[in-house]
Amino acid sequence: MKEPILELSHVSKTFYSSKTGEIPAVSDVDLDVSEGECVGIVGESGCGKSTIARMITRITDVTEGKILLEGQDITKVEERDLKKIYKKIQMVFQDPYSVFSPRMQVGTFLEEGLVFFGISSRSQARKEAETLLHMVELSPELLDRFPHELSGGQLQRVVIGRAISMEPRLIILDEATSALDVSVQKQVLKLLVKLQKRLGLTYLFIGHDLAVVRSISHRIVIMYAGIVVEEIQSERIEQAAAHPYTRKLLESVFSVHDREKKKIVLETLTMQDSGYERQGCPYQKRCPFVYDRCKTEKPDLVDYGNGHKVRCFYFE
C-alpha cells in the first residue's frame, strides 16, 4: 500500500443558523487517497460532498478533524503560507465559465498561473501554455480566444490544462463534467483518464451520477447526510454494494437497456426527510429495513476487508 497523498481523519463541519441551530454538514469523515488513484465521492445534493472539497482547498475551515496532505496538516497552515498548498491542490468546478474572467484570453489564463507560481518565466510561459493546450487536445489557435468564443467542453479542457500546469499532487474534480452534453462529457472523462495515466495524477472525483463516477474511479465513497455510509472498490459496486442507500442509488440509475424490467419503488416525501437525525442512523426514515436499534444508535463504519466498509446494522 502506497502512502496516501491525502488523508482526512474525523473531519466534521458544522454550520450554524439562527433558525435551525447547528447543521452538521459533514460528520466524522475519514478518507484517504493514494498516489495515482482516483477516488470518487457520490451523494445527492446537500450530502456534504462539496463541503469536503471546500475544506481540502481551505475555502472553508474544518470544525473538527485533520486533513493531511503528504503528512502535513493543512488545516493548521497559516493564511500567508496557503500559496504553497494551492499549488499542490488544484480544483476543477462544474461551470467552467465561472472560472474565467470574461475579458481574459485563454493564453493569459494559462500563463498567469505558471508565472504566479514561478513554474516558468514570463518569456517561456507562452510556449508552455501552447504545450498545455496540446495536452488537453485543443488547438494552439485558441490561445488568443476569449471564453465566450469557446464551447463549455473546450473551456473545461482549458481549466483542466491550467490545473495540470501546476504539477499538483491532487486534483479535485467537483461535478467537473456534469454540466456538459453527454458526448462532450465522455470525451472529457477520457481525457482525464489519459492524463492520469500519463502524468500519474491523483484525483478526487465528486459527482452525483453513479455510472459516471464508477467509470472513472478506482474506489467510491458514498455519502448521505454528511456521513460516509459505504466505501467500495468501484468494480464491485453493482454486485457487492450493501448499504440500503447505495442500493437505492443503483436502482435509481436509468439505463437505456432496462426499459421494461425496471420497477420504481415509491417513497412518500415529508417535510422532515432531511436525514440530519439527532439520534440513530441518518437513513432511518427512508430505509426499508429499519430496526428499533437504528432509531437510537448510530452505526459504525465497519471494515469488511477488500476495501469494503459499510455503516449499517442490517448488514452486520
Partner 1 sequence: MEIIRADHVSITYDGIKNAVNDVSFSVEKGQIIGIVGESGSGKSTILHGIQGLLPRTSARKGTISLFGKSIDDMSAAELKNIRGRDVAMIFQDTGRYMNPISRIGKQYTSFLKLHEKKSHAELVALEKEMLKRVHLEDADRILHSYPFELSGGMRQRVGIAMAMSLRPRLLLADEPTSALDVTVQAQVIYEMMELRKKYGTTIIFVTHSMGVAAYMSDIIGVMQSGRLVEWGKTEDVISSPREEYTKSLLGSIIELRDERLITTI
Residues that bind partner 1 (CB under 8 A): 38, 44-45, 181-183, 185-186, 189-190, 193-194, 196-197, 208-212, 214-218, 234-235, 238, 248-259, 262, 264, 266-271, 273
CB-based contact 11:56 (threshold 8 Å): no
Nearest approach, Cβ of residue 71 and partner 1 (Å): 27
Instruction: Give CA–CA dist 138/19, Å, rounded.
Output: 49
Nearest approach, Cβ of residue 272 and partner 1 (Å): 9
Instruction: Give CA–CA dist 27/179, Å, rounded.
Output: 28
Nearest approach, Cβ of residue 196 and partner 1 (Å): 8
CB-based contact 228:29 (threshold 8 Å): yes
- Decide whether 109 or 224 has the Cβ nearer to partner 1: 224
Instruction: Give CA–CA dist 311/55, Å, rounded.
Output: 23
Instruction: Give CA–CA dist 212/196, Å, rounded.
Output: 16
Instruction: Give CA–CA dist 312/202, Å, rounded.
Output: 30
Instruction: Give CA–CA dist 223/239, Å, rounded.
Output: 19
CB-based contact 32:8 (threshold 8 Å): yes
- Decide whether 149 or 251 has the Cβ nearer to partner 1: 251
- Decide whether 24 or 244 has the Cβ nearer to partner 1: 244
- Decide whether 126 or 218 has the Cβ nearer to partner 1: 218
CB atoms within 10 A of CB 37: 19
| Strand 309-310 relative to strand 302-303, pairing | antiparallel
Nearest approach, Cβ of residue 229 and partner 1 (Å): 13
- Decide whether 1 or 256 has the Cβ nearer to partner 1: 256
Nearest approach, Cβ of residue 61 and partner 1 (Å): 27
State how far Cα 184 lies from the chain centre.
19
Nearest approach, Cβ of residue 122 and partner 1 (Å): 35
Q: Which three cell numbers stand for residue 77?
A: 497552515
- Decide whether 10 or 197 has the Cβ nearer to partner 1: 197
